Amino acid sequence: MKSPVSQVLKILHDRYAALRDGKVADYIPELSHANPDHFGICIATRDGHLYEVGDTRQKFTIQSISKALSYGLALEDRGEEHVLSRVGVEPSGDAFNAISLKAGSGAPFNPMINAGAIATCGQILASGGQSRIERITAYLSRCAGGQLDIDQEIYRSESETGHRNRAIGWMLRNFGIIDEDPHDILETYFQQCSLRVTCADLAVMGATLANQGVNPITGERAIAHEYVDNVLAVMASSGMYDWSGEWIYRVGLPAKSGVGGGILAVLPGQLGIGVFSPPLDEQGNSVRGIRVCMDLARELSLHMFNPSAVPQPALRRSYNAAQVNSRRRLPASTFHALRRYGDRIRVMELQGPLLFSTFEPVIRELVKQAAYCQHIILNFRYVFSVDAVSLRMLHEVWQQLAGAGVRLVCCHTGRLGKLIAASGIPDDVLFFSEDAALESCENAVLAKVLPDHVQQPPPVLLAGCTLFANCDPAELQLLNERMEVKTYKPGETIIQTGSRADELFVLTAGSVEVRLNLGNNRYQRLDVFSAGMSFGELAFLDASPRSADVVAIADVECRVIQRPLFEDIGKLLPGLKAKILNEIALQLCDRLRQANIEISALRN
């Protein structure tokens, strides 16, 4: 099946394949041998998928497109201020080969015209045993994701005829923009322009720029993150020579073209485009390349200044601990205290990328909530990235909330946890799960509102167990005699998923955890029961296999009603079975009610 995306490329290719406008460059004699019919279009997505149509694997020389990338290398070698002191970033409005240098300083207007590119070449260092051209080749190869080589014929041809560029080189030397004999720099520049690429290489280079400098196919960092915006900025303002203004107006993508017939365009954060077709217009831009990019931008809505999606606020939903609690079962009095005071704990589930525009509404809400809450839990489960600005603001808001007596904790931070901790937020407010965070906040609230609240209830006698709340002494005595005592060490499994349910457990000491097994040693905590509570009723009543594991999380003592005893109990003491069933029914009612409150809070 053909993807509709490939279909769009195919239609564009068909639309312009017959276009005969433009002329193959011949001022470099070897370039005149290019086949004017070669025509390829390629899109590379930010996750490294290629859509291609036509001659996307035909090699040609990169020419001026190399200027954008070698500018990145110069910035990495010398830093922004130094490079800016030698080469400006103003569009010149002149042709690519103009001898256009700023009056006074003699600095070229920008690195995309020849003068600026030759000066930029002079900034690149030979280092690590590698010459300038070796470093440039390696750098561009990393951007393309494959080893590039020099077309020696074209290099020789340009070197033999490049008198105008030589003149520019000597002008730059005269103004001290380059500090050495320009000869070697010019040869490096000619070689850099003669690197052979394909249209697919250009698209991948574009996707590398779109992907903040990491090649999406190899996963390798090709361009330092901090200079990606500089490279894209000069492409946007000057990449298409003296047609740059019109290009950014009509197409709206940072781009660079070369007289070999290539155009590389980038939609930052999204994709790279490569087009190859040798016939050029008067400015030296590929005629078909320009038409294809204009149509692509319109048909796929790629114009940078007309974003089709605006980032959504990162607040997914929000609730308090009077609505949703941690998974442990609480004794009735404690549970009611949470219903009453749970609004002191606010949970905010976040989603998507955190950047200024998505995180700002969250901050607004945090500041508002600070007036009502003592604890705020930020759940990062559906957050896939956090930028430096959001991290800084998160840290600031955390500090300010702490100053105002509000504890901000984070949970489900996963691989973002390291970044969050590095922002200065202490480890002890980062929780593995929302459940653990809620439990910690609930304990803090309960400690205030219920002075006798204990996290681990002490052992109880049968009379203290909810299931037997209404039993009289004779009934309790019978149960005491007949119910088996079982003990477990922490970590021991009491109930195994899938096993037969022939026992009803009453917990008289310690706590147990009900776990849903997710495989691969991962599990989800469903419930925690402590002394006085019972578990295992569901499968016991409807005689289905156990649906979860139950594991001791402290030294546990249980009293167990085996199925035969349960069957007989009514005969032994009339009314006892009904009392027990009645109590189970009440507990299930409570749980269902609680579940309904949670579900309605979570549906918001």
Q: Active-site residue numbers?
A: 64, 67, 189, 241, 259
Dist CA 246 CA 240 (whole Å)? 9
Q: What's the Cα-to-Cα distance from 203 to each of 258, 265, 294, rounded to whole Å?
A: 14, 8, 16
Nearest to 292 by CA among 56, 25, 114: 56
Q: Is 188 among the residues that bind ligand GLN (CB under 6 A)?
A: no
Q: Is 121 among the residues that bind ligand GLN (CB under 6 A)?
A: no
**In this complex, which beta carbon is closest to ligand GLN, that of residue 188 or of residue 379?**
188
Least CB distance to ligand GLN at residue 63 (A): 3
Least CB distance to ligand GLN at residue 194 (A): 8
**In this complex, which beta carbon is closest to ligand GLN, that of residue 61 or of residue 440?**
61
Q: Is 510 among the residues that bind ligand GLN (CB under 6 A)?
A: no
**In this complex, which beta carbon is closest to ligand GLN, that of residue 58 or of residue 64?**
64
Nearest to 558 by CA among 488, 456, 477: 488
**In this complex, which beta carbon is closest to ligand GLN, that of residue 148 or of residue 445?**
148
- What is the DSSP secondary structure assignment for residue 98, as one 8-state letter? -
Q: Is 122 among the residues that bind ligand GLN (CB under 6 A)?
A: no
Nearest to 223 by CA among 350, 382, 72: 72
CA angle 333, 337, 341 (to 5 degrees): 175
Q: How many residues touch ligand GLN (CB under 6 A)? A: 11
CB 588 within 8 A of CB 529: no
Least CB distance to ligand GLN at residue 259 (A): 4
Least CB distance to ligand GLN at residue 117 (A): 7
Least CB distance to ligand GLN at residue 243 (A): 12
Choose which of 56, 114, 379, 530 interacts with ligand GLN (CB under 6 A): 114
Q: Which of residues 48-67 bind ligand GLN (CB under 6 A)?
A: 63-64
Least CB distance to ligand GLN at residue 191 (A): 10
* Strand partners of residue 385: 353
CA angle 425, 427, 428 (to 5 degrees): 110
**In this complex, which beta carbon is closest to ligand GLN, that of residue 284 or of residue 510?**
284
Site map for ligand GLN, 274-293, x if CB under 6 A?
----------x---------
Number of H helices, E strands in the chain: 21, 20
Q: Is 120 among the residues that bind ligand GLN (CB under 6 A)?
A: no
Q: Is 165 among the residues that bind ligand GLN (CB under 6 A)?
A: yes
**In this complex, which beta carbon is closest to ligand GLN, that of residue 25 or of residue 512?**
25
**In this complex, which beta carbon is closest to ligand GLN, that of residue 193 or of residue 386?**
193
- What is the DSSP secondary structure assignment for residue 101, as one 8-state letter? B
**In this complex, which beta carbon is closest to ligand GLN, that of residue 263 or of residue 411?**
263
Q: Is 259 among the residues that bind ligand GLN (CB under 6 A)?
A: yes
Dist CA 436 CA 415 (whole Å)? 18
CA angle 51, 54, 58 (to 5 degrees): 100
Choose which of 96, 431, 505, 529 interacts with ligand GLN (CB under 6 A): 96
CB 248 within 8 A of CB 238: no
Q: What's the Cα-to-Cα distance from 10 to each of 3, 40, 516, rounded to whole Å?
A: 11, 10, 50
Q: Is 97 among the residues that bind ligand GLN (CB under 6 A)?
A: yes
The residues, any chain, with a CB within 8 Å of residue 307's CB and separated by 6 or more, are: none
Nearest to 243 by CA among 251, 218, 531, 394: 251
Least CB distance to ligand GLN at residue 21 (A): 18
Q: Is 158 among the residues that bind ligand GLN (CB under 6 A)?
A: yes
Dist CA 191 CA 180 (whole Å)? 18
Residue 6's identity, in one-letter code, is S
Q: Which ranges constitute the DSSP H helices of 124-162?
A: 132-144, 152-161
Site map for ligand GLN, 527-566, x if CB under 6 A?
----------------------------------------
Nearest to 495 by CA among 560, 573, 412, 571: 560
Least CB distance to ligand GLN at residue 119 (A): 13
Residues within the interface to ligand GLN (CB under 6 A)? 63-64, 96-97, 114, 158, 165, 193, 258-259, 284
